[in-house]
């Protein structure tokens, strides 16, 4: 078995997990990097700490999570100088995310010069979406010049969960169609046909599609023009509002769905509306992806909300019996793996995701390990 270290570098945090095969040897989180009283002064200090705290004997690979792979990175890629330059060139597409991953890659390559490193992109799984599913109907010359299209994110999670769902169904991946619903702080839906992504709800950034903790998800672009032209808000302020003050937070003042559910149970209308907006958007995407796939074998819920909230699972799929989709209330409340009634045409399941294991596996596969 080969050891792999997975690094997920954010602007102020580093999450790490060391695998031996599929087993976890060590893991941790370094937070508030660069802040006074934080765990480390910068990414270099953070990685140095991980390396001194962790026994890296026999390490065969380092896998880095990179949010945006642009149009060119369509699978996990072994890192060399040319690859880091290409990731750097993608910063304008992901100014909030890629710089931290890049600094993690640079530091890890310096500190572990003899260990091969692999970049695993959140976008790569969606490279199989056909052109009609990633092209927006805007001026084609603008789109081409500025790399404007749907990329999609959460790819490692959708890949892992869709494969795992086929295996739970006892079916070959190549013959299984799944709608995966990754509902965490960020949230996205994906239509997976025979193991390949054919549609997903996030767009050029992780901002599109479903309602999230602090992100709006899909809105008419005129909202942006209106806030600028009529409300007089600068573009940076609009971006901050729609990415950090929107979603559940924007609707209720709280980004944690547990708090919203509590307030809804107490009968608060604002919380009820937020829950309805959140679950209706999921149902709209399920309907759309039923149409994209034609035949659906399973719908899989994953991530913090998907794995833990019977209310969201039940309400998101309510009223779809005529389409072969139903949730058994007792199984749903118990959080069973299969929550649809026996004999249901579409299996509904709860499948815990493991993005880090998927990154470790893809990193080792890219190195032929």
Residues linked to residue 178 through DSSP beta bridges, in sequence order? 192, 298
Cα–Cα dist 368/116, whole Å: 11
Per CB under 6 A, the list member of 8, 180, 188, 309 interacting with ligand AMP is 309
Residues linked to residue 17 through DSSP beta bridges, in sequence order? 6, 27
Classify strands 3-9 and 298-302 as parallel, antiparallel or unpaired: unpaired
Per CB under 6 A, the list member of 102, 257, 327, 347 interacting with ligand AMP is 257
Per CB under 6 A, the list member of 229, 258, 280, 295 interacting with ligand AMP is 258
Q: Count interface residues toward ligand AMP (CB under 6 A).
A: 12
Q: Is 175 an annotated catalytic residue?
A: no
Q: Closest residue (Cβ) to ligand AMP?
A: 304
Nearer to ligand AMP, 70 or 208 (CB): 208
Three state DSSP letters for 280-319: HHHHHHHHHHHHHHCCCCEEEEEHHHHHHCHHHHHHHCCC
Q: Which of 39, 81, 122, 297 is catalytic?
A: 122
Residues numbered 289 to 308 that lie near ligand AMP (CB under 6 A) are 303-305, 308
Structure tokens at 342: 């026996």
247 interacts with ligand AMP by CB under 6 A: no
Nearer to ligand AMP, 297 or 355 (CB): 355
Cβ 268 to ligand AMP shortest distance, Å? 16
Burial class (CB in 10 A: 0-12, 13-18, 19+), 57: exposed
What is the number of residues in the chain? 369
Cβ 184 to ligand AMP shortest distance, Å? 3
Nearer to ligand AMP, 63 or 213 (CB): 213
213 interacts with ligand AMP by CB under 6 A: yes
Burial class (CB in 10 A: 0-12, 13-18, 19+), 38: middle
**Residues found near ligand AMP in the complex (CB under 6 A):** 184-185, 213, 256-258, 261, 303-305, 308-309
């Amino acid at each position: 078995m080969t050891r792999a270290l997975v690094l997920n570098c954010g602007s102020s945090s580093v999450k790490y997990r060391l695998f031996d095969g599929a087993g976890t040897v060590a893991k941790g989180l370094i937070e508030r990097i660069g802040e006074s009283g934080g765990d480390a002064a910068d990414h270099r200090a953070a990685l140095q700490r991980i390396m001194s705290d962790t026994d890296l004997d026999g390490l065969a690979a380092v896998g880095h999570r990179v949010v945006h792979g642009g149009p060119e990175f369509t699978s996990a890629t072994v890192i060399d100088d040319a690859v880091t330059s290409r990731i750097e060139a993608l910063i304008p597409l992901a100014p909030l995310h890629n710089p931290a991953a890049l600094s993690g890659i640079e530091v890890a390559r310096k500190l572990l010069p003899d260990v091969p490193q692999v970049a695993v992109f959140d976008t790569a799984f969606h490279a199989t979406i056909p052109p009609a599913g990633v092209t927006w109907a805007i001026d084609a010359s603008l789109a081409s010049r500025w790399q404007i299209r749907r990329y999609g994110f959460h790819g490692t999670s959708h890949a892992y969960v869709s494969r795992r769902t086929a295996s739970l169904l006892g079916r070959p991946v190549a013959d299984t169609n799944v709608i995966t619903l990754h509902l965490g702080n960020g949230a996205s839906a994906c239509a997976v046909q025979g193991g390949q992504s054919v549609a997903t709800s996030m767009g050029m950034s992780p901002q599109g599609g479903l309602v999230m903790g602090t992100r709006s998800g899909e809105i008419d672009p005129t909202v942006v023009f209106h806030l600028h032209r009529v409300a007089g808000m600068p573009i940076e302020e609009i971006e901050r509002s729609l990415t950090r003050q929107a979603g559940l937070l924007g609707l209720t003042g709280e980004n944690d769905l547990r708090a919203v559910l509590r307030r809804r149970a107490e009968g608060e209308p604002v919380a009820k509306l937020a829950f309805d907006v959140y679950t209706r958007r999921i149902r709209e995407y399920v309907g759309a992806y039923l149409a994209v796939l034609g035949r659906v074998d399973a719908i899989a819920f994953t991530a913090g909300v998907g794995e833990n909230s019977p209310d969201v699972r039940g309400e998101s799929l309510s009223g779809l019996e005529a389409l072969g989709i139903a949730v058994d209330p007792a199984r749903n409340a118990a959080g069973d793996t299969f929550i649809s009634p026996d004999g249901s045409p579409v299996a509904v399941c709860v499948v815990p995701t493991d993005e880090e294991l998927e990154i470790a596996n893809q990193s080792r596969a890219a190195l032929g390990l």
